[in-house]
């Protein structure tokens, strides 16, 4: 069983994997199912090498899985619970905005 130190290390590495806007965009794009690099390139509107670079990081942190069909590699989310985390982070962001708006109105 993992000790608290190992859990903290896992969390730190996990959040490092999420610490890039393109990686977050990729994860959001995978909500509706698997996609190839070319499909993700079109969805994200960025060059394929950038998509591949970010996918390599997500894959290295075991956040996405791959499936090969002919010469095309499809990427999918390993654990759909990641979407819960992304949704909670959006809620926190929205709460933060509401707080900022309240402060600005009071000024």
CATH number at residue 21: 1.10.10.10
Residue 86 placed within a domain = no
At 55, is the pLDDT very low, low, confident or very high (cuts 50, 70, 90)?
very high
Whether pLDDT at 11 is above 80: yes
Whether pLDDT at 94 is above 90: no
32: part of which helix (H) or strand (E)? none
Residue 101 placed within a domain = no
Mean pLDDT of 83-100: 84
Give the integer Cα–Cα distance in Å for 57 and 100.
33
For residue 27, give the nearest of 73, 85, 92 by alpha carbon: 85
Query: What is the predicted pLDDT for the residue at 102?
Result: 76
Residue predicted with more confidence, 9 or 101: 9
Q: Which domain holds residue 61?
A: 4-79
Mean pLDDT of 87-94: 88
Give the integer Cα–Cα distance in Å for 77 and 59.
10
């Amino acid at each position: 069983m993992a000790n608290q130190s190992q859990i903290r290390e896992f969390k730190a590495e996990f959040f490092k994997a999420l610490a890039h806007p393109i990686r977050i965009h990729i994860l959001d794009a995978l909500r509706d199912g698997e996609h190839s690099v070319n499909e993700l390139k079109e969805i994200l509107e960025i060059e394929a090498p950038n998509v591949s670079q970010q996918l390599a990081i997500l894959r290295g942190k075991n956040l996405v899985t791959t499936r090969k069909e002919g010469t095309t590699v499809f990427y999918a989310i390993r654990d759909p619970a990641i979407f819960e985390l992304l949704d909670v982070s959006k809620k926190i962001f929205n709460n933060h905005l509401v707080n900022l708006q309240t402060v600005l109105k009071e000024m």
